[in-house]
Amino acid sequence: MVVKLGGAALDSDEALNFLARDLAVLHLVGMRPVVVHGGGKSVGALSQRLGLEPRFRDGLRITDSETMEVVEMVLAGSLNKRIAGCINQFGGSAVGISGVDGSLLRARRLSEELGQVGEVASVRTGLIEDLCRDGHIPVIAPVARTDDGAACNINADEVAASLAAALGAGKLFLVSNVDGVLDAEGALVSQLDAEGTRTLIEEGAIAGGMLPKVRCALKALDAGVEAVHILNGLHEHAVLLELLTHRGIGTLITRSGRGQP
C-alpha cells in the first residue's frame, strides 16, 4: 500500500502523530506501507522567510533555481526527516529518502515557464523493495532529476500514483485535510467506481483542488491499482478506520462497482 500525506495533515503536530501512529501499527502487524509526502505550505513559508515570493501558474509552483533549493531543503530535508522521525517514535522503522536516491524517480520538465517543475518519466522500484523487505517504511519526498541532471519538484499525488502502479500496490491512500469527494449538496460520497467518478467530473461536481487528486486516482486505477482512498488525516486513526471498517471515513474509488477488494 502507498500512502500519500499532504495538506494540513502535515502542518499539525497532532495530525502527523495520528498518521504516524497508524503507519507504525500497520508496519508492526506485517503490512508494508510506502509513504509519499507533499509540503507546499512549508516550502512557501521558508521561501517567504528567505525573501522569495511564491509564484503560481495553474495551481503549480513556478520553481526557479533559488526556489528549487528551498524545495530540496524542506521536502528532501527537514520535513522528510520530521515525518520519518515521527513514525519511528511510535515504533516504526522509517527511512527518509527522495526520488533522487537510488534513481528511484526520473523527472521530465513540464514547461519552460514553470521552471524546475516536472512529471514522473520513469520509476525504479528496487530501493523501495529492498527497504520494505528489510523491515523499513520508505518515506519519499517528491523531488527527482531529469536525464540532464536538473532537479525537479513533482506533484506528490502524481508521485504516489506512479509509485503505487509501479509497485503493484493494491491500495493507494491520498490523505490531506478534506473528507473525500463531496456531492452537489456537500455530502460525502463514500464509494465510487471509475465510471461514476468520470461522470461527476463531466458534470462539474468534482472541481477545484479535488479534481487533480481524483485524476491521479483514476490514473492509478487505470495502471492496475485496485482501490484508491481519499480521506481526511486530521481525524484520529483515519487510515486504520478507512482500511479496517466497512464504510470507512473517506471516499473509496475502485475500477468497478464491486466494492472494496
Q: Indicate the DSSP class of residue 168.
A: T
CA angle centred on 139, ends 122 and 162, rounded to 5°: 25
Catalytic residue among 7, 38, 180, 233: 7
**Whether 193 is catalytic:** no
**Whether 41 is catalytic:** no
**Whether 171 is catalytic:** no
Catalytic residue among 38, 96, 171, 213: 213
Catalytic residue among 6, 38, 40, 118: 40
CA distance 164 to 105: 13
**Whether 13 is catalytic:** no
Residue 58 CB contacts under 8 Å (≥ 6 apart), including other chains: none
**Whether 59 is catalytic:** no
Catalytic residue among 157, 179, 233, 250: 157
Nearest to 70 by CA among 155, 154, 153, 176: 153
Q: Locate cell 519552460: which residue?
A: 112
Q: Phi first, then psi: give them for residue 219, nearest 5 degrees.
A: -60, -45
Residues with catalytic function: 4, 7, 40, 157, 213
